[in-house]
Amino acid sequence: MEVMEVEGTAGLGSGTRLMRGKDSSRILLQHLGAMSASNVGTIMGLVLGWSSAAKAVYSDPEQQELQGFAVDLEQWSWVSSLYGIGGLIGSLSVGKLVFSLGRKWVILSVGPITMAAWALHLWATSVWMLCAGRLLMGFACGACCVATPIYISEMSSPGIRGALSTYFEILLCLGILIVYTMGKFLTVYWMNVICLLFSVVHTACFVWFPDTPRWHLLHGREKAARRSLVFYRGPHYDVDDEIKLITVGIEESKATALSGWKAFSTRPARKALIITVTLMTMQQVTGVNATTFYASKLFEVSERRPPGVC
């Protein structure tokens, strides 16, 4: 059986080696685990694109009659924007839950929360039910944006970590494409049903994957950490070296840990914060979310523009 050293881990001992052949399936299992966790990206894409796709459907008088209520543009602006408020609450509040409950259970909870949200949309009898659903969806999406990258980075081998991290954005874009397509051909009822089914599939698939080795070690569960590593690396993988590396990393983090804003008192931390906030601010001021939320309306307006007006 051929032995392959994982990129970036040479010199760390036998625990940094993966075997081709019998254990090559464990690389596939890491991909499947990352895809299953990143399926929340698909859900997030459905949520992001839903307001544009559904607005086009709700504008249809026949659909309004079937739904039992009409939604004007001002009300729809609330329906769309409450996603952002929910996302803010979710991303800020989930930090402690990621530590206490685990990365897995936070990601897994996105399924039931969004199921409840889609159910509110499915049986909505007023605009307020749509608003409540969007708020719940935003909360779930904000939580998954925090937990999913942590989960993938902690469960993956260094050599494929970058590749696995791309699944979230790919599936997010796929989710937007799917819901836009559904908005073209389906009623809002069936669009909500299919979106709900994506949440069901996410829950049913991801529940079988273990939490990360690092999270288990943070809580003193070495046996569970070993089981997690064996699950993702294979039964012939020597987990001892990786357990030691993770343990050393945790001890170093605890020794240098600072609470609250003190964590940004060091120059590297401030630099990282400035870069991150700047990049995210630049992304948001481009109007990417507004474009996604109102894409159908923007195309509708552009078709009615006077001749010669760009």
pLDDT class of 164 with cuts at 50, 70, 90 = very high
* 127 contacts: CB under 8 Å, gap ≥ 6: 69, 71, 75, 78, 79
CA-CA distance, 61 to 220, in Å (whole number)? 59
Identify which has the larger pLDDT, 80 or 142: 142
pLDDT per residue as tens digits for the range 54-65 = 876 666 666 666
Beta strands in the chain, from DSSP E residues, in sequence order: 3-5, 17-19
Distance of CA 192 to the CA centre of its chain: 19
pLDDT of residue 150: 93
Two structure tokens written together for 91? 């991303």
Burial 175-184 (b: 16+ CB within 10 A, else e): bbebbbebbe
Residue 21 has pLDDT above 70, yes or no: no
Two structure tokens written together for 205? 């698939």
Burial class (CB in 10 A: 0-12, 13-18, 19+), 75: middle
Residue 188 has pLDDT above 90, yes or no: no
pLDDT per residue as tens digits for the range 137-155 = 999 999 999 999 999 999 9
**What rounded mean pLDDT belongs to the chain?**
81
pLDDT class of 53 with cuts at 50, 70, 90 = confident
CA-CA distance, 152 to 209, in Å (whole number)? 12
Q: Is the dihedral of CA 79, 80, 82, 86 positive or negative?
A: positive
pLDDT of residue 71: 75
CA-CA distance, 10 to 15, in Å (whole number)? 10
Most confident of the following: 68-72, 201-205, 263-267: 201-205
pLDDT class of 260 with cuts at 50, 70, 90 = low
pLDDT class of 251 with cuts at 50, 70, 90 = confident
Residue 291 has pLDDT above 90, yes or no: no
Residue 215 has pLDDT above 70, yes or no: yes
Q: Is the dihedral of CA 166, 171, 174, 179 positive or negative?
A: negative
Residue 43 has pLDDT above 70, yes or no: yes
Two structure tokens written together for 55? 């607005």
pLDDT of residue 171: 95
Residue 267 has pLDDT above 60, yes or no: yes
Residue 36 has pLDDT above 60, yes or no: yes
Q: Is the dihedral of CA 264, 270, 275, 278 positive or negative?
A: positive
pLDDT class of 241 with cuts at 50, 70, 90 = confident
Give phi and psi for 273, each to the nearest 5: -65, -45
Q: How far is CA 23 from CA 93, 158, 230, 237, 296, in A?
A: 39, 17, 11, 8, 48
Identify which has the larger pLDDT, 123 or 20: 123
pLDDT of residue 305: 55
